[in-house]
Structure 1
Amino acid sequence: MDQARNLPDGNDEIQKAVAFSKEYVDNFRTIFPNIIDEALSKICYLDSWNIRNRIKEMTEYYTLEKKPMLGELMLYAYAMLEDNEVWKEEKRHQAYLLASVIEMGASYFLFTDDIQDDGKTRCGKVCWHLLPNVGTLAINDACMLRSFIQEILQQNFPEPLFYKITKFVNKIFFIAATGQHVDITLARDRNFDNFTMKCYCKMSEMKTAFPFIEVPIIFALILSNKATEESMQQIHNICVDMGVLIQIQNDITDFYDYEGLTKSSTDIQKGKCSWLAVKALELSNEDQRCIFEECYGSWDPTHVHKIRELYKELKLPQLLVQEKEARYETFFRKINELPPVCVPDVNFYQKLFKLIKNTRI
């Protein structure tokens, strides 16, 4: 595997970034609830403690059960990008708020994904919409969560920063929702001719690479006042492969997590356009394709077993290793092609690789 240019790893900027993001991660279970409580206390029209408690409960339900990887990535990027002369407490607080908003946004996507996929478990817990006091109210809860994100931003970010952030937030929700639409309709229509790697990568780019990889970095650029069309395009070009790889790893997790230890394993039953399904169609002979078309998208345990056996027969889990290597090669090649002076710089992308290479969503 090619490696990025070997730049010094112990300079002040990197040490500052690591310390800043680590402080947030280590104290996340204290920092995040405090931010939520403070924001709720400022909303005067929420005079019912029942509503406040509901918002707090749903906001923390998934968010506190997972490592705040997106917040960590955003804070690392911000610490690397921000000029030392403006590195002050107010900006640090805004960075923590923005990192927490990103984590809330991730939880919003988990809520809607579980509702649409009829998920059963997430983060080792029963899915939110299956709780006795939730049910179909989960749809309204998701709407409240999205609006609460906007409320927190409005409380803490002055103009023109508020406008820049909210404009980008709207873009996040639109692109991710579009990717989710493609995901759902591909599974619903069952036209396996559309299960192509090109279609899969584009879908993964919209619903995973953009919201889970590009977004934290772009937020850091906005907060440090370094967001330009050129810098955002650079981030997209470099990060898209890693984002697709994260989605592939998520699909593989679904295959191995048959007992539902981290999330419900239903990609086969739902007929999802997963990496495994796409590769199976690429590699299958005529008889194997007949098995796939007959059994894929069925809840019959016998059919599910046949698909799982077909995946093993085609050695798809082993092929993931080759896929990882190819994505890593592309990632490092793009880093090596960066100009000596760029924003973000090569050091940042090296750290990015370490942060996200084993990420699960």
Structure 2
Amino acid sequence: MDRPAKRAKFEAAWERVRDELIAHVVSKSMPPDAVEWYRNNLDYNVPGGKLNRGIAVVDTAEILKGAALDDDEYHKAAILGWGVELLQAFFLVSDDIMDSTTTRRGQPSWHHAQGIGMIALNDAIMLESTIYYLLKKHFRDTPYYVDLLELFHDTTFQTEMGQLIDLITAPEDHVDLSKFSLDRYRLIVTFKTAYYSFYLPVALAMLMSGVPTSYTLDGRTIEPYKVARSILLPLGEYFQIQDDFLDFSAPPEVLGKVGTDVINNKCSWCVNTALVLATPSQRAVLDDNYGRKDAAAEARVKEVFEAVGVREQYAKYEADVHRRLVEKIAVIPEGAERGTLKREIFTTFLEKIYQRTM
């Protein structure tokens, strides 16, 4: 099935999930205006993105099964996938409030939409709480129900820790590059992005597919969730570094948007790499111009990026991380048994990301 067809099928599953959620709040005697508000919250914030995280749950479940999912299996995987998308929506609505972001996905941020305002805080909490209603309804009788709960709770907390580090390191209204470092950047990226964007979808599919915490294959003891983390967290870091580099280097007509990391004081890989390589005079330019809402200041920062060789550093990094990930994936022993890891899970992710341009 090609990507548009996969997306269409996954979106059709959302309609079923959304209608189920609406029926639930109606059953709780919520008044019609509150039901309509909740419906708008769901439709505005959940299904409009790329849906890569949610669809990854379905894709991973199919790879682990080694065949197409039947209708019941697909519905369960899609519910978990939409759980990831609900978590993403919760993060984005909250993040847009914290960052005073005015637009999201080509439309006003939820708290800037007509008549919403700070009710968006409660709406964000409702988006997160919705996940646990779906898990209780559809998975409470499964042996992995508690594992699902813990995985969502742990991932949410990890992401929130990453957000905290990011916010106190690089507040938009106060630039202090002395707080920046590549070590802190990697910590932010691992907690804020890699866990929920890469590990969570795969781990959910593994739980649903009956992958145990350990098994023996060809005389080796495999701990599949640890193996998955060891690949997916570096993969998530690579994805974010790539995103940061494209924000600096890709023209808007290719990227699909105008890069804003420099003017918004983002603790990005590019500036952290430049800080390591800069001469004292170049560092002074960065200190004086980074995070300013000024096109000329932004241009001066990017001139430093070019001068210190950020493009060359990225090319070296990308080649190295690709080699290391390929090596990690290659040592996963594969068997025909259901419930064991498959290299294809990770090669599929890597192929989608490697040398992307947008």
Q: Is the 8 A contact 1:121 1:264 kept in 2?
A: no
Task: State the one-letter code of the partner of 1:247.
Answer: Q
Q: Which residue of 2 aligns with 1:99?
A: 81
> Per the alignment, in what secondary structure is the counterpart of residue 38 of structure 1?
helix
Q: What corresponds to 1:352 in structure 2? A: 349
Match of 2:20 among 38, 43, 57: 38
* Pairwise CA distance, 1:115: 1.9
Q: Distance in 1 between matches of 2:42 and 2:78?
A: 16
Matches within 5 A, 1:235-314: 235-255=228-248, 256=250, 265-314=259-308
Q: Secondary structure at the match of 1:299?
A: coil
| Deviation per residue, 1:177-224 (Å, 9 max, x gap) | 001111111113755344222221121111111110111000011111
Name the residue aligned to 2:54: 71
Structure 1 residues 224 and 283: alpha-carbon distance in aligned structure 2, compared to 1, 3 A threshold: same
**Equivalent of residue 225 in structure 1, options 201, 210, 221:** 210
- The Cα of 1:42 is off from its aligned counterpart by 2.3
1:140 alignment counterpart: 122
> Within the alignment, does 1:323 sit opposite 2:317 as a pair?
yes
State the secondary structure of the residue aligned to 1:338: coil
Q: 1:312 to 1:83 in 2, by over 3 A?
A: closer
Q: Deviations over 1:294-346 (max 9, x none)?
A: 22233344433322332233342454333222211111011122234493222
Q: Is the 8 A contact 2:263 2:291 kept in 1?
A: yes
- Count residues in correspondence: 341
TM-score when normalising by structure 2: 0.85
Verify the 8 A CA contact 2:334 2:340 in the aligned structure 1: no
Mapped partners of 2:318, 2:348: distance in 1: 18
Q: Tell me, in whole angstroms, the C-alpha distance in 1 between the residues paired with 2:290 and 2:347.
A: 39
**Ranges in structure 2 where 5+ consecutive residues have no aligned partner:** 215-222
1:27 aligned residue: 9
Residue 253 of structure 1: CA displacement?
A: 4.1
The separation in 2 between residues aligned to 1:137 and 1:130, in whole angstroms, is 11
Aligned to 1:176: 159
Q: Which residue type is aligned with residue 54 of structure 2?
A: G
Quote how far apart the aligned CAs of 1:227 are: 4.1
> How far off is 1:356 after superposition?
4.1
Output the CA distance in 1 between the equivalents of 2:321 and 2:41.
36
Q: Is 1:204 aligned with 2:189?
A: yes
Residue identity in the other structure for 1:275: W
| Conservation of the 8 A alpha-carbon contact between 2:57 and 2:201 | yes
Taking the aligned partners of 1:356 and 1:301, their CA distance within structure 2 comes to 30
Once the two structures are TM-superposed, the CA of residue 292 in structure 1 deviates from its matched residue by: 0.8
Distance 1:250 1:48 in 2: 43
Deviations 1:159-189 (A, max 9, x none): 3433221121111110000011111111137
Moved more, 53-62 or 32-41: 53-62
Residues 186 and 272 in structure 1, CA contact (< 8 A), matched pair in contact too: no
1:109 is matched with 91
1:124-183 C-alpha deviation (Å, 9 max, x unpaired) = 222222212122222111111111122222222223433221121111110000011111
Q: 1:51 and 1:184 mapped to 2: Cα distance?
A: 33
Q: Which has the higher contact order (CA 8 A, sep 6+)?
A: 1
Q: Does structure 1 conserve the Cα–Cα contact (< 8 Å) formed by 2:57 and 2:78?
A: no
Shift of the 87–30 alpha-carbon distance from structure 1 to 2, 3 Å rule, reads closer
Task: Provide the residue aligned with 1:15 in structure 2.
Answer: none
> Does the aligned pair in 1 maintain the 2:161–2:191 contact within 8 Å?
yes
Q: How much does 1:23 deviate? A: 5.2
Instruction: Measure how far apart 1:66 and its partner are.
Output: 2.4
Residues 358, 146 of structure 1: CA spacing in aligned structure 2 closer, same or farther, 3 A cutoff? farther
Local SS of the residue matching 2:194: helix
What's the RMSD between the two structures over aligned residues? Answer: 2.9
**150-159 or 93-102, larger mean C-alpha shift:** 150-159
**Residue pair 1:295, 1:304 contacting (<8 A) in 2 also:** yes
Q: 1:227 to 1:124 in 2, by over 3 A?
A: farther
Percent of pairs with identical residues: 23
Between 30-39 and 210-219, the greater mean CA deviation after superposition:
30-39
